[in-house]
Structure 1
Amino acid sequence: MDTRTRRRLSVEVWIVLGLSLGQSGVYAVVRLIERLAEQATRDVPLSQQRTTMNTSRSDFEYIDLVYQLLRLGFAIVPVALALYLLSAPGRSALRRIGLDATQPWRDLSIGAGLALVVGVPGIGVYLIGHALNMNVQIAASGLDQYWWTVPVLILSALKNALLEEVVAVGYLMERLRQLGWQVPAAIAASALLRGSYHLYQGYGMALGNVAMGVLFGWWYHRTRRVMPLVVAHTLLDVVSFVGYELFADVLDLP
């Protein structure tokens, strides 16, 4: 690869990340600094601070629904951009990163297995991190209870899965491979990016997501298929979001 092409691809990667997960990572770092400052100056431990995901945007039911759908729709644009940039004449970006339906049952079964492998230890990471004052309290859903709440939470889970697995794994690792990065370095970059945008949940959860990123990056390198990762991530978030919405009051969750 000549120097001009290398420079163009490097700039492209920074632009894609700056419009998506890299931007989220920067905000998450600042949010963690703010939380640590609150712990130091106001004596509020990290474990007593709280973050709420999937929040309502309006007191009016259907305006809130419109806001939620707009949020989900615009959040997928970086995925479309990454796929567009990976495409080439006669070469589908979906096929290139394995985001297709050529192996549906295999992808579903592997995705379910990965979700189980990540999800069970993930609960432990959250609980231990919270006990050690490394994580904040996480409310997985802050939506009001409407008929559309659960469908929107499922769509939110799918959005997270597509954005993170396509951009942080499929797109980034393909571009880093083209730029000549060694496999361990590419996996580490993908995993550290994943950890960075979870820092708002505390550095315990960020470390847990780095471990998840190493596993997912290794799997992608081995198979060149991102679809099982999307399935696994969707299942994990559906259980978290919908489970919280349905059982938070029963289980007296924060």
Structure 2
Amino acid sequence: MAAELTSQQVLREWLFTILGERGGSMPAARALTEMERRYGELLSDGDWSLTKRGDESKWWNRTRFERKNMERAKLLVPASQSRGVWTLTEAGWGEYRKIADIALIVERAEEPKASIRLPGQPVGQKFPARAEEMTQRVIRSTAVAEYIKRIHGHICQICGIRLITPKGAYAEAAHIQALGRPHTGPDVAANVLCLCPNHHVLFDFGALAISDDLSVTDQSSGFSLGYLREVPGHEVGREYLAYHRSHHARVRDVPEV
């Protein structure tokens, strides 16, 4: 009797989990490797057996097949656009969140009741106090930001996701070399990227590094996230990318106290 294979639905949920926990995108081979590292012990002997061609395990082959099904369901960015990087679409993010919420509910249900410690709710203020203050801020060029978002069609240059809200498409203009002190970067198109909110935050905090060849690296894991997408009419300034890498390298080198 042939060994039972892990269902396609389970493989799909595992792939959603891996991609969602890694920021929504990952090169194909890396995604499969991560799935193996995390779920390998749950795979059956049949899953580990080789395909008829003998070039890869059945679960690896069946996960690739499921990736195609997810693409047809518009849960992943089409392979023709993602350059070998498996990337969640907005609908894909929605499915991942459902899976993550269910996993959290199950995890909490399995916890011993005595181990659950809920923090006390702060009292807060019914009528918060008000105070006047004077601030100085950098005046950003709305025209530059809107140009960058419009020329990219509000599509994130890293993950390829285009967020749709009731008011239309949404993306954020991210300065590579920040405008404020001590960075004092220029507010020009070459110093701006079109990013989704997630990758904007990760980039600003130095969790992502972009090389001069536009390859994007996750600094925490060292994994490649593919290449930054460019479009005619927007050339990214390599000098600003170099500044970003240098600045965040210095931040990481500061010893903890």
TM-score by length of 2: 0.25
Task: Name which one, 1 or 2, has greater alpha-carbon Rg.
Answer: 2
Q: Using CA pairs below 8 Å that are at least 6 residues apart, which structure has the higher relative contact order?
A: 1
Higher strand proportion: 2
Q: Which has the higher helix share?
A: 1
